A = this chain, B = another copy of it.
Amino acid sequence: MTDSHSAILLISCPDQKGLVAAVTRFIFEQGGNILHLDQHVDAEASAFFMRVEWDLHGFGLERDAIATAFDLTIARRFNMTWSIAFSDSVPRMALFVSKQSHCLYDILGRVQSGEWKVHIPLIIGNHDTLRPVAESFGIPFHTFKITADNKAEQEAAQIALLRQHNVDLVVLARYMQIVTGQLIGQFHNRIINIHHSFLPAFAGAKPYHAASARGVKLIGATSHYVTEELDAGPIIAQDVLAVNHRDSVADLVRKGQDVEKLVLAQAIWAHLNQRVLVYNNKTVVF
């Protein structure tokens, strides 16, 4: 999908004529060959979104110079919000877990096998339960027991640890604690959660019990960026699977875990590959 030496621009700005022409001309004039270009206009919001990836082989600007040049010649002119990334960079991702291991195993298996280019410098748990899993993969595990009394303090310590490890992305891999604005503010649109229902149905605790009580014929999972309003952040990925009257709550839990781990993996993959733009509490996933 992504070549190892390419640059990726993610852009959003007010819609206007000439945006695509200006960006693609910038790349062309420096000798770049466009590998992928996705563009979207939200007509109602009059908002423009673009992801463009080009081969850096023979490109006229050094990596460090691209951002400056783009900012001066294009971005300011069109009032763009933008970011640049390089396909060969390796982001640093922290995992938060509780007692359930299915998402953790799935993520670690993907990283270990080389499916994803990402480094996991640490795993944080609010219980010790999954320490052996972390250790079997050679990843440091830090336990932060959380009580009503120590929550703010523990979260501050978690933030310090994340900063110390230069973490780019935080993944709540079935972390059964609500994170607060303190942490969210430090990692704006960089904390991904997996909720075990098809949001907005069954937000909050015990969604499989609620799904069983309502007698739904599908259960789902939703991966979203964490915002201060619980289970209401921008949705990155969702999926469902069919269930029926034979499925007890325990069956929903067991079957749901497969959807949870797949949907979370899709969201992480999209984020790591610079495919997600957020606006109006929604996402554009290129």
Contact = CB atoms under 8 A, between A and B. Distances in A.
Q: For the complex formed by this chain, how many copies does it contain in all?
A: 4
Contacts of A239: 218
A59 to B, nearest CB: 11
A218 B21 CA distance: 33
Contact of A246 (B40, B215, B240): B40
B112 A109 contact: no
Please classify the interface of chain A as helix (H, G, I), strand (E, B), loop, or mixed, using the class held by over half of its residues: mixed
Contacts of A35: 41, 43
A245 to B, nearest CB: 4
Interface in A203-260: 214-218, 220, 234-240, 242, 244-246, 248, 250-251, 254, 257-258
A17 interface: yes
Contacts of A34: 17, 19-20, 39, 41
Given A21-B25, A198-B201, 5 more contacts: A18-B28, A101-B109, A102-B109, A199-B216, A218-B240
